[in-house]
Amino acid sequence: NDRMRAALYFLQCYSMFQPSERSEQDKMYNEISITYLEEALKSDSTLHFPKEEYLELCQLDRKVPLDVSQTKVFGKDIFIGYHRHIICYSFGNNLKDFPIFGDYLIEEIVEGEKILFTNCYDPGVGIIVKIEYNEKNAVHNPAWFENCFGEIKSIDIGANGVCRYAFMGMVLDRAGQKMFYYHAEVLIGNERYTFEFYYADRVQAQQINFMLGNIKAVLPKVEVVNEEVKSNFIHNIFKKFKKISDKLGIRKKDLSLNKIRKFIGSNEKSETLTINELYNFIEAVSKFNSQQISRIDEGYKQYFGLLLSGVLSVINFGKLEPLQSSSDYEYDEDIIKKMKHSLYESWEIYDTKSVFETISWLLNEGHSKKYESLKYTTLDEAIQEKYKKIKKDIETENYSDDVYTTHGFRNKEHYIETLLKDEIKELQHNWDFILAFRGLNVKNIRAWDIGRAAYLVWECYFFDYLKKFEAEQLIDTLAEVAAKEFSNFTEFASSYALGRIFWYFSISKKNNINKEMTEIVYELLEAFEILFSSNDGLWAVNQWWNIDESNNKTCR
């Protein structure tokens, strides 16, 4: 049935069969897989059922399993757990789910080359990939296979792509061990991928047929739109959704700055906000009133998860909307296509798998990872770590000085100094931000990642990239993560504001507290004023959801 098909799909493509405590991603995938399997089991207890995998997932998630004694066992022709000991990696826009043997990858980038090492063998398989983008279709380059041994072999990857590979000979790895060396070239759409594979023996080298043979040249199901697409969402489609600008009055840039300064009590006269004013803005946000009593009932959890999308929901609709699908409405197909393209341009989301990958990134890394790595170290320590990494990467290559002089550098040290100088600019820029905002009573910027994730779930369900139970499961996961990190909506808002401002500040290596930053802060202020309105503000009148029943500040 449909539930079982969904369960098998998840077991094949997502579940890593790791403990839920290891990461939010493992917890999410384990819970969703278990949910699908149990819903299928409840609908028909006589189904062919993957008992072994189900019981293992329940153990990994510390969950009491249902009775599976009456189910039928799958035959040996059913291959379950494709992800076990295989990593599915994506490159560029078109090459998705590239299978690599191993449980995890070590990734390095040296001179623009992405180098991947897998733990599956000792020594592991090494892979170097480069991607070239062409205005039209990608073009084969015969020079890539020059001096190869034997024939250039082709592998069928579908009508939209071409794949070739050849044995290039034996080379020595970093430790001086002989490796079997292969070149491969993959052409899909306007992207040309070149691969270098390094294997320790002929048995390992047989992997190349499996890896390349599992490539499916399927272009993203996104129709390219020539005209600029605005990111604002449903209010462009349905008249019933009111623009925030209609609710709050027409935005005028000269009024934006005045309103912000009035909110924070600033007498500054400059044309743009200052770093001190940004600090004072976040401090003022932390004084908004929200419910200090939380609740723990499961029935509230789903609504609470949607409340986390509050800022983007208010900016785009002027209010919070429940989960709803585009299939429930009559709409203009062209507008939907444009909006899907906008989502793809912003997030590279175009199907269910890309949704889960994006939500997983926001939960496990997002912009919080970069912020945390800077917050808990000194600038000197960060520079030293960057220097060690650059030096290690370059010394690994063991190039002669001739290579450096050919490219305009005096020697290896001059090349390292040049790279480090550019890295120091970025570190110094972001460190200035951390230093300026260190006095704030805001522990992290996780709300910035969580809030965006909650809104993306809503948006992706609307576009039918998610089924309803998938969207609800993701919303539940986000609710639990937020409940562990924060204790009320005021804390969440402060964290969100700091994250939004840090993100815009960090995308440049120079001062960008400009008029665009003023618009960002003004947009946040508009949203917060609606969300924290004492009469009907969603973040003012609704309680925080509490995952911890032992907390004495809860009510049912």
Instruction: Encode pLDDT of 85-106 as tens digits.
Output: 666 677 777 777 677 776 666 6
Same domain, 164 and 199: yes
Distance CA 101, CA 125 (A): 8
Q: What confidence tens digit (pLDDT) does each residue in 386-411 have?
A: 788 878 877 776 667 776 676 667 77
Does some domain include residue 125? yes
Q: Is the pLDDT of residue 195 over 70?
A: yes
The tens digit of pLDDT for each residue in 262-286 reads 999 999 988 889 889 999 999 999 9
According to the model, what pLDDT value does residue 331 have? 66
Q: How far apart are CA 291 and CA 554, in angstroms?
A: 11
Please tell me whether residues 189 and 321 are part of one structural domain.
no
* pLDDT at residue 213 in the model: 82
Question: Does 314 share its domain with 455?
Answer: yes
The C-alpha angle 348, 351, 354, rounded to 5 degrees, equals: 50
Domain stops at, among 43, 73, 103? 73
pLDDT at 230: 33
Domain at 121, CATH number: 3.40.1000
Which of 244, 315, 299 shows the shortest CA–CA distance to 459?
Answer: 315
- In this structure, the answer to whether residues 397 and 455 fall within a common structural domain is no
Indicate whether 539 belongs to any domain: yes
Average pLDDT of the residues in 368-394: 79
Please tell me whether residues 20 and 105 are part of one structural domain: no
Domain boundary among 29, 47, 73: 73
Which comes out higher in pLDDT, residue 75 or 243? 75
| Residue of higher predicted confidence among 192 and 135 | 192
Say yes or no: 15 and 105 in one domain.
no
Q: Model confidence at 486, in pLDDT bands (50, 70, 90)?
A: very high
CA angle 311–314–318, rounded 5-degree value: 170
pTM, two decimal places:
0.58
Q: Tell me whether residue 64 is exposed, middle or buried, using C-beta atoms within 10 angstroms of its C-beta: 0 to 12, 13 to 18, 19 or more.
A: exposed
Beta pairing, strands 72-73 & 48-49: parallel
Shared domain for 183 and 290, answered yes or no, is: no
Residue 60 has pLDDT above 50, yes or no: yes
Q: Are residues 317 and 247 in the same domain?
A: yes
Region of poorest pLDDT, from 249-258, 386-395, 431-440, 459-468: 249-258
Same domain, 315 and 401: no
pLDDT, averaged across the chain: 79
User: Would 79 be classed as within a structural domain?
Assistant: no
Provide the domain count of the chain.
4
pLDDT in tens, 285-323: 999 998 877 777 777 899 999 999 999 998 887 778 888
Q: Are residues 457 and 432 in the same domain?
A: no
Q: How confident is the model at residue 493 (pLDDT cuts 50, 70, 90)?
A: very high
Name the residue among 123, 101, 347, 127 with its Cα closest to residue 220: 347
Task: Tell me, yes or no, whether 221 lies in a domain.
Answer: no
Same-domain pairing of 62 and 92: no
Does 503 lie in the same domain as 455?
yes
Which residues have a Cβ under 8 Å from the Cβ of 445 and sit 6 or more positions away? Answer: 367, 368, 371, 495, 496, 498, 499, 502
Give the residues across from 131 on adjacent strands: 193
Strand 149-155 versus strand 544-545 pairing type:
unpaired
Residue 219 resides in a domain? no
Q: Is residue 411 part of a domain?
A: yes
| For the chain, percent of residues with pLDDT exceeding 70 | 80
pLDDT score for 312 = 92
Which of 389, 415, 437 is at the close of a domain?
A: 437
User: Is residue 81 one of the residues assigned to a domain?
Assistant: no
pLDDT of 225: 36
User: Residue 168, SS3?
Assistant: strand
pLDDT at 424 > cutoff 90: no
Residue 432 is assigned to a structural domain of this protein: yes
Identify which has the larger pLDDT, 102 or 364. 364
Range of the domain at 26: 2-73
